[in-house]
Amino acid sequence: MKRLIILSLLLSVSLSGQSVRPAFGAGLWYPRGGDELRGEVDRLMGNPPLRSFFPRLLLVPHAGYLYSGVVAGRGYAQIRGRAFWRVLILGPSHREGAEGLILPREEAFATPLGEVPVDRAALEALREMGLGRVDRSGALTDREHSVENQLPFLQRALSSPFQILPLLVGRVSPEEAVRIGLALRRWVDSGTLVVVSTDLTHYGRAYGFTPYRGNLRGRMEREDRGFLETAGKVSPKSLLSWMRLHPVNPCGLSPLLVSLSLFEGEGLRGETLAYGIGGEGERALVGYGSFVLFSKLKIEKEEKMLTEGEKRSLLKVARGSIEQALRLSTGGGDEIVTPAMKEERGVFVTLRKRGELRGCIGSLKPEGSLYQGVMRNALNAAFRDPRFSPMTEGEWKRGEITLEISALTPLTPVTDYRTLRLGTDGVLLSDGFQQAVFLPQVADETGWDLETFLGHLCLKAGLQAQAFKKPGIQFWSFQAEVWAEE
């Protein structure tokens, strides 16, 4: 036993002298090679969802990627391109005899994608508070996959460096889970994401759990979804009361109870993102779910769409700005500027003459309010687009010019151009100082396939048409709310 402990400690030391936990699961739970793992995780996540919100907690499975990767990817897609400086990962220990909060001894965790630093200051504070014990031998933490399997997803999803606070939760009483959750609140700010690592119901003789009859998969899914729906109430007491009437046995119940205690009373909302079942026959089935808790206020702010009246007003603002510059009108009109029109958003204004492009200029990032951006870019499109001569009074008076406005969502990094969605995603391409952008509607207007679309985007940036395939080219996507004069 002493020899095994010494070997485990040696495995945890990197060449730099820092204590680093090796990637025990590489080649077992997920691909061993960095390039293969990177591609697999990107494929499983896909693009971020169109709607935007501020996630505080993700519940995701931790089985091998072959079995639960698709479900986990749906969860991590919610944070793709976002920045968190710390991730609190709460996972169960699958070792017999694990009790309480178990702290890692290492200063970093390794995966084939690189090393992730551990928030040692927080771990030391937890230890001093008597809330956990360090697993110095590695008997409980070495080869435990519930935390490790989350790291490649986090490495590919988050847009900036982060550190982790990786905690295993052994057997705890409900009262102890609440105490731990309340204590952890001091480390969970708006820059911290909480990840609960758990699989859901483990059904079959292999797990000693066979309470269902008849349609096993249907009953499993119904009970697991009910479990997640109840978790969305963010109340440990409510979840435990529900479980007294519904047979489920998630392996990560203790981590979930801790996390619900952490967020109880904060007014968060929950949503189930995906569900699946792994296994064949009746001997061993496992349910997998991904679930998110998010800020209700942030959702309502970011999802708010412009009304038809607001869109008409902004078109009038754009037209009025150009007519003022041509001295065809005076004053700013009597349009009411609503709160939504005061929101800071990137915006493009497009001019068309008998259906053909006559000017298009905008800003991908907010430069003041949407209302101000429409006024500024209407003038830019009419008088400062270098591809066209400035608009004249005579040309405008002929009544052949129509206006279109595109209000944009924030930019999101894209790791694989093949995941871009023609007609949905606008694209910013960058190679150093050479950049170009196409709005989402360009694909629909031209009928180009993806490679033709990107080839023309490269030419617009002053690059070779096939440059989008070379290493180092960067892509960002965005979506647009588009409307035009009839």
pLDDT confidence band for 331 (50 / 70 / 90): low
Q: For residue 42, give the amino acid letter.
A: D
**For the whole model, what pTM was predicted?**
0.61
Q: How far is CA 222 from CA 197, 201, 273, in A?
A: 20, 11, 15
Q: How far apart are CA 436 and CA 445, in angstroms?
A: 18
Please indicate whether residue 186 or residue 36 has the higher confidence score (pLDDT): 36
pLDDT at 306 over 70: yes
pLDDT at 330 over 50: yes
The residue among 253, 59, 103 whose CA lies nearest residue 172 is 253
Could you report the per-residue pLDDT of 422-453, keeping only the tens digit for each? Answer: 888 899 999 888 889 999 888 888 888 899 99
Number of H helices, E strands in the chain: 17, 20
pLDDT of residue 278: 94
Exposure class string for 286-299: b at 16+ Cβ within 10 A, else e: bbbbbbbbbbeeeb
pLDDT confidence band for 8 (50 / 70 / 90): very low
Q: How far apart are CA 93 and CA 104, in angstroms?
A: 12
* Strand ordering across the sheet containing 356-363: 356-363, 347-353, 401-408, 480-484
pLDDT of residue 186: 87
pLDDT of residue 486: 78
Compute the average pLDDT of residues 170-190: 89
Which neighbouring-strand residues pair with 115?
Answer: 110
User: Following DSSP, what letter does each residue of 186-211 receive, concatenated?
Assistant: GG--TTEEEEEE----EEBGGGTB--
Please indicate whether residue 333 or residue 177 has the higher confidence score (pLDDT): 177
pLDDT at 6 over 80: no
User: Following DSSP, what letter does each residue of 433-475 receive, concatenated?
Assistant: TEEEEE-THHHHHH---HHHHHHHHHHHTTS-TTGGGSTT-EE
pLDDT at 207 over 90: yes
368 CB neighbour count, 10 Å cutoff: 14
Compute the average pLDDT of residues 467-473: 91
pLDDT at 329 over 80: no
Q: How far apart are CA 240 and CA 254, in angstroms?
A: 11
Question: Which distant-in-sequence residues (6+ apart) come within 8 Å of 340 by Cβ?
Answer: 304, 306, 307, 310, 370
Could you report the per-residue pLDDT of 374-415, keeping only the tens digit for each? Answer: 999 999 999 999 999 999 999 999 999 999 999 998 888 888
Could you report the per-residue pLDDT of 54-84, keeping only the tens digit for each? Answer: 789 999 999 999 999 999 999 999 888 777 8
Could you report the per-residue pLDDT of 124-151, keeping only the tens digit for each? Answer: 999 898 888 888 888 888 889 999 999 9
267 CB neighbour count, 10 Å cutoff: 9
Question: Which distant-in-sequence residues (6+ apart) come within 8 Å of 20 by Cβ?
Answer: 12, 13, 14, 106, 107, 108, 109, 110, 115
Report H helices in 233-343: 236-243, 253-263, 296-303, 308-325, 339-342
pLDDT of residue 16: 35
pLDDT confidence band for 17 (50 / 70 / 90): very low
pLDDT confidence band for 231 (50 / 70 / 90): very high
Q: How far apart are CA 126 and CA 184, in angstroms?
A: 8
Q: How far apart are CA 95 and CA 93, in angstroms?
A: 5
pLDDT at 88 over 60: yes
pLDDT of residue 7: 34
Mean of the per-residue pLDDT values for the chain? 87
Please indicate whether residue 9 or residue 182 has the higher confidence score (pLDDT): 182
Compute the average pLDDT of residues 333-351: 83
pLDDT at 51 over 60: no
236-243 and 216-231 helices, crossing angle to 10°: 160
Q: What is the maximal distance between C-alpha atoms in the chain?
A: 91
The residue among 22, 30, 32, 34 whose CA lies nearest residue 143 is 22
Using DSSP bridges, classify how beta strands 55-60 and 114-117 pair: parallel, antiparallel or unpaired: unpaired
* Rg of the chain, C-alpha, whole Å: 27
Domains and CATH numbers, the chain: 2-301 (3.40.830.10), 304-484 (3.30.700.20)
